[in-house]
Amino acid sequence: MAKRVGIEVAIAIAEAAALAEVEVVSAYPITPQTHIVEHLAELVADGELNAEFITVESEHTAMSAALGASLAGARAFTSTSSQGLALMNEIVYITSSMRAPVVMALANRALSAPINIWNDHSDVMNERDTGWISIFANNGQEAYDLTFMAFKIGEHPDVLLPVMINFDGFLLTHVIEPIWMFEKDEVKGFIPPYNHPYRLDPKNPVTMGPVGLPEIYTEVKKQQDVAIRNSRRIIDQVWKEFEENFGRRYQAVETYYADDAEIILLTQGSVTEAAQVVVDEMRKQGKKWGVVELRLWRPFPFEDLKDVLCRDNVKCVVVLDRAISFGGQLGIVMSEVRSALYHESNRPMVVGVTSGLGGRDIKFDEYVRMFEIGEEAYRTGKEPEEVIIVGLRE
Amino acid sequence: MRGFPSWKELTLAAIITEPGNSVEYKTGDWKTFYPVVDHERCIKCGTCWAFCPEYAFEVDEEGRFVANRDYCKGCGICAEECPRKCITMVEEEVE
């Protein structure tokens, strides 16, 4: 039976990939992800995991090798952070476009410059439009469960898309948490064998990633967009099956006191639980505040979000961004949420805040301030013209 | 654009399942010049055949090297490399 053990989250994520019986791990070390691939290397070296561990000279190659392995029919995994992901970018886009269900564990970290190894979401937001299924975990247990389930989602014959699991660097990776760890027997059969319908096979030669002339390219991209939208059904199905078997529930949009909240803070990642603590405290003072977590980033859960936010009780949604779109709307998640609700007649006000960049902690009072910005907007009937950077020294 | 598949008809990620079907894609209409071999002077050495990046040179029944204009892109490498300088690039006329 599953045991609840105190374990470093990075190690647990590696164990999740091993539990899924990955066949190829192709990775390059980068802080704060390194412990994940180090642990997988140990498992392979110790003979506990029957996989090919490919040590590569860069992340660009890490993703290239994972892509090739996946198309050859192997269950492939990689993990990276920040600059590593940025260097991979070219192949990140190609991997989804070639429909290779690679799973990537992404320890979210700020992008340089200035050099910063700490947590924010600028790395994942930089890859927003690369066509990967993208899911956020807000604690170690979720990172473990979601990494394990990612293989089942991505490899489903109706999906065949890569999946990235996001979890905050250091705030999660380097923390020792009590995590329910599965025994192999318990999950046996949960992830069926991986079969790519056109895998690279000398006996049945095919050409993958051919030239797509102007007459073809548009149709290929439309097909890819439909594929990731349709993946939603399988994502829900896999999460449901997991819940039925193991009891832990995962939803595209998670809510905390959203049923009666007037002001909602919309979050992604580990700030979610911190915001929940703030709500617990402030509810004692009569504040009708709540938290909505956008767990599923791609495919974007439009309907779920509308169901939760376009309700009479919700007056203002404050969207917390952990990255910046320079010279644009500033808040990336904010602008997506606002435009997703644009056509709804009963949409709430949507206000953007940005905080926690480059590993700066968001303090209790700063969460309170975010909610108060929402209250202020509702009271005055005016959304601030610009996204407010909370915690900025003027 | 008739003759091309809709997005619903495409194979997954436009994977090509029929090996060798690139011969159906005729790239010859890219060219402005095509090579004409002076067979009186040609010594049938095959240099044009070897250098052609498109494998457009074919050998006819009499062992003569002739460029297949369905695939020749008109780059002129054959004329440049020909040791007998017996290949002339002639402007393609399109009706």
- Complex-level ipTM: 0.88
CB-defined contacts A:B, below 8 A = 49
Written out in words, the top-level CATH class of the domain with range A253-389 is alpha beta
pLDDT value at residue B20: 86
Chain-chain contact of B19 with A209 (C-beta, under 8 angstroms): no
Confidence of residue B3 (pLDDT cuts 50, 70, 90): confident
Confidence of residue B95 (pLDDT cuts 50, 70, 90): confident
pLDDT value at residue A57: 96
In this structure, the number of other CB atoms found within 10 A of the CB of residue B49 comes to 17
Q: Rounded to two decimals, what is the model's pTM?
A: 0.94
CATH architecture label of A3-246: 3-Layer(aba) Sandwich (3.40)
The tokens for A36 are 């994940």
Give the CB-side neighbour count of residue A228, counting CA atoms within 13 A: 28
Chain segment A317-370, per-residue pLDDT in tens: 999 999 999 999 999 999 999 999 999 999 999 999 999 999 999 999 999 999
Rounded to whole angstroms, the Cα distance separating A145 from A155 reads: 16
Sites in chain A below the pLDDT cut of 50: none
A214 prior amide bond cis, ω within 30: no
Rounded to whole angstroms, the Cα distance separating A131 from A139 reads: 25
* DSSP helix/strand/coil, A196: coil
**Within an 8 Å CB–CB cutoff, is residue B23 touching chain A?**
no
Rounded to whole angstroms, the Cα distance separating B28 from A394 reads: 64
**Within an 8 Å CB–CB cutoff, is residue A99 touching chain B?**
yes
**Within an 8 Å CB–CB cutoff, is residue B17 touching chain A?**
yes
**Within an 8 Å CB–CB cutoff, is residue A220 touching chain B?**
yes
Name chain A contacts of B4, Cβ cutoff 8 Å.
215-216, 219
Confidence of residue B33 (pLDDT cuts 50, 70, 90): very high
8 A C-beta contact, residue A292 and residue A309? yes
Q: Is the pLDDT reported for residue B27 higher than 90?
A: no
* DSSP helix/strand/coil, B11: coil
8 A C-beta contact, residue A53 and residue A13? no
Rounded to whole angstroms, the Cα distance separating A108 from B45 reads: 62
Rounded to whole angstroms, the Cα distance separating A70 from A9 reads: 26
pLDDT value at residue A43: 98
Q: Which long-range contacts (CB under 8 A, 24 or more apart) does A211-215 make?
A: A212/B14, A215/B1, A215/B4
Chain-chain contact of B7 with A219 (C-beta, under 8 angstroms): yes
Going by CATH, does the domain composed of B23-91 fall within 3.30.70.20? yes
- Provide φ and ψ at A328, rounded to 5°: -115, -135
* DSSP helix/strand/coil, A269: coil
**Within an 8 Å CB–CB cutoff, is residue B60 touching chain A?**
no
**Within an 8 Å CB–CB cutoff, is residue A47 touching chain B?**
no
Nearest chain B residue to A212 by CA: give it: B14
Rounded to whole angstroms, the Cα distance separating A210 from B38 reads: 38
Q: Is the pLDDT reported for residue B19 higher than 90?
A: no
Chain-chain contact of A210 with B1 (C-beta, under 8 angstroms): no
Domains of chain A, residue spans = 3-246, 253-389
Domains A3-246 and A253-389 share a fold: yes
Q: What percent of chain B has pLDDT over 90?
A: 80
State mean pLDDT over B79-95: 93
**Within an 8 Å CB–CB cutoff, is residue A215 touching chain B?**
yes
- Give, rounded to a whole angstrom, the gap between the first and last alpha carbons of chain B: 22
pLDDT value at residue A328: 93
DSSP string, A86-115: HHHHHHHHHHHHTT---EEEEEE-PPSSSP
Q: Is the pLDDT reported for residue B2 higher than 80?
A: no
Q: What percent of chain B has pLDDT over 70?
A: 99
Chain-chain contact of B12 with A222 (C-beta, under 8 angstroms): no
Domains of chain B, residue spans = 23-91
